[in-house]
Amino acid sequence: MENTEVDNEPDSKKAKIQSGEQPIRCKYFVQRKKRYCKMTVGVGKEYCGEHEPTDRTIDPESGTSDRIPCPLDSKHTVSAVKLEKHLKICNARPPAEQKPYIVPGINCTSDGEESEPLPPTEGVSGVKLSDMPLEELTTLIAKIDRLYDTVEPLIKEQSPRHSILAQELRTEHYGPQTLKHLTQSSALLGLLEQYEFLQNDTTFVEFGAGKGQVAYWLARIVETQLQNCKVLLVDRASHRHKKDNKIETREIVQRVRADIADLELHRVDLLESTKRLVGIGKHLCGSATDLALRCLVRSRAKSAVLMKGCLFALCCHHRCEWRTFAGKQFLLANDITRADFECIVRMVSWAVCGTGRSRDREEDESYDNKQDRCGLTRLQREAIGRKCKRILDVARLNYMVQNGYEAKLKYYVTSEVTLENVCLICVDK
């Protein structure tokens, strides 16, 4: 019997397969993953297309040229001579036909909010804490301490688990990263169950769905325990190896490719046949959380569907932006100005940036006691970073309360699982 798989391969690759020769891998070292890139390279090359050095000149013999950032998405590169072809097939290209639920910038600000320009002498987005006068920085830290003392009692621990992931969490060969994400998903689904969000005739919307891990397990619950429910995944990017593709009952799942900033949720066709809606998000970086909250609040005002509530794990506060931040009114009412906000979103990194020490120096206590120019030790800076995060979270909580929800903040997993362990739960009153 002929090997059709080999026959369908290009001649250069077919020769390697038949000879048993190992393909040459890219020589680029991925620092974040502490390993070399696993992509194969072309004949006579050392790097894959993505990691080919950009300063190489055009080869007159081969006609190949430098790679340039893609004009549609600078996160990836493309060969300059193939740019025209790439723009026609790039996953980041805008859709040929605008969907009715896409309205550019609709969720960036709330009704009645002013987006006044900030004088250049005040807190600009490029502010560096190291450039701030010492007196201003210490005054801001004192203000943060006072405000945190009033909001800290609002945050309680509540970390249930959902039985749908019990067997998966017992899988022995999973590494710590996989178990971490599964534990987070189990806790979030457990909270959905505890707050009675898991009901019949409900559409669950996962914002920033990515590869759809949470949506996958949610769909498993829908398949086995609920009736007439759907799962809608919202993400602005196109992902490979999506987990939701493994869901057997395809009609209960739909994916919408949209930036949350532009999404009018009540216009999505899937919601026309549902009675209630629940929003969920496991990894909505910074301002994406604010956009999702506004999206739900706007849809609640314009739709007959009951916006039952939402559950968002909160993270990446350093990526919050003043223009889109949902809790501005709370901050301003508590004497936190826009300039203060720009500093706070930098100070939040003190809570999660690690010790900065090598493994050999982990036990070096003198490092923890070393003081910065404000007289703060590393542990004190870490505590201030956490306070900044919680203040931003309470500001969002206040926004949802002002818009008719009963809102709570919970530690949904322990800090050993992840330092980003707080979630916002909102229930329609």
Per residue in 98-132, pLDDT tens?
Answer: 889 999 999 998 655 554 544 443 444 567 887 78
Model pLDDT, residue 321: 94
CA distance 143 to 415: 26
407 near 426, Cβ under 8 Å? yes
Model pLDDT, residue 318: 93
Average pLDDT over residues 365-391: 80
Give tens-digit pLDDT for 5-52. Answer: 444 445 544 444 445 567 789 999 998 888 999 999 988 888 887 887
CA distance 52 to 33: 18
Token pair in block for residue 283: 């990894």
The answer, yes or no, to whether residue 392 has pLDDT greater than 90, is yes
Give tens-digit pLDDT for 59-111. Answer: 555 555 577 889 988 888 888 888 899 998 888 887 777 889 999 999 998 65
Token pair in block for residue 198: 């898991």
For CA atoms 284, 286, 292, 297, the dihedral sign is positive
Model pLDDT, residue 3: 47
270 near 277, Cβ under 8 Å? no
CA distance 336 to 144: 9
Model pLDDT, residue 154: 76
Percent of the chain past pLDDT 90, that is, above it, reads: 53
CA angle 239, 242, 244 (to 5 degrees): 135
Instruction: Write a three-state SS string for the chain.
Output: CCCHHHHCCCHHHHHHHHHCCCCCECCCEECCCCEECCCECCCCCCCCCCCCCCCCCCCCCCCCCCEEECCCCCCCEEEHHHHHHHHHHCCCCCCCCCCCCECCCCCCCCCCCCCCCCCCCCCCCCCCHHHCCHHHHHHHHHHHHHHHHHHHHHEEECCCCCHHHHHHHCCCCCCHHHHHHHHHHHHHHHHHHHCCCCCCCEEEEEECCCCCHHHHHHHHHHHHHCCCCEEEEEECCCCCCCHHHHCCCHHHEEEEECCHHHECHHHCHHHHHCCEEEEEEEEEECHHHHHHHHHHHHHHHHCCCEEEEEEEEEECHHHCCCCCCCCHHHHHHCCCCHHHHHHHHHHHHHHCCCCCCCHHHCCCHHHHCCCCCCCCCHHHHHHHHHHHHHHHHHHHHHHHHHCCEEEEEEECCCCCCCCCCEEEEEEEC
The phi and psi torsions of 231 (rounded to 5 degrees) equal -125, 120
Model pLDDT, residue 50: 80
Give tens-digit pLDDT for 123-174. Answer: 445 678 877 888 888 899 999 999 999 887 778 888 889 999 999 999 989 9
Model pLDDT, residue 249: 86
**Longest CA span, the chain:** 80
- Which sequence spans correspond to the domains of the chain? 129-355+372-428
188 near 313, Cβ under 8 Å? yes
Model pLDDT, residue 4: 45
Model pLDDT, residue 362: 53
CA distance 314 to 327: 14
Model pLDDT, residue 43: 84
Does 133 or 425 have the greater pLDDT score?
Answer: 425
Model pLDDT, residue 125: 57
Does 335 or 51 have the greater pLDDT score?
Answer: 335
Mean pLDDT over each residue of the chain, to the nearest integer: 84
The CATH number, out of the four listed (1.10.1040.10, 3.90.79.10, 3.40.50.720, 3.40.50.150), of the domain defined by the range 129-355+372-428: 3.40.50.150
pTM for this model (two decimals): 0.79
Q: Which residue has the tokens 């806790």?
A: 187
Does 106 or 4 have the greater pLDDT score?
Answer: 106
CA distance 275 to 77: 44
Flag the least confident range among 13-17, 74-78, 258-262, 405-409.
13-17
User: How far from the centroid of its chain's Cα atoms is residue 357's Cα?
Assistant: 27
215 near 209, Cβ under 8 Å? yes
Model pLDDT, residue 99: 87
Burial class of 261 by CB neighbour count within 10 A (0 to 12, 13 to 18, 19+): buried
CA distance 386 to 248: 41
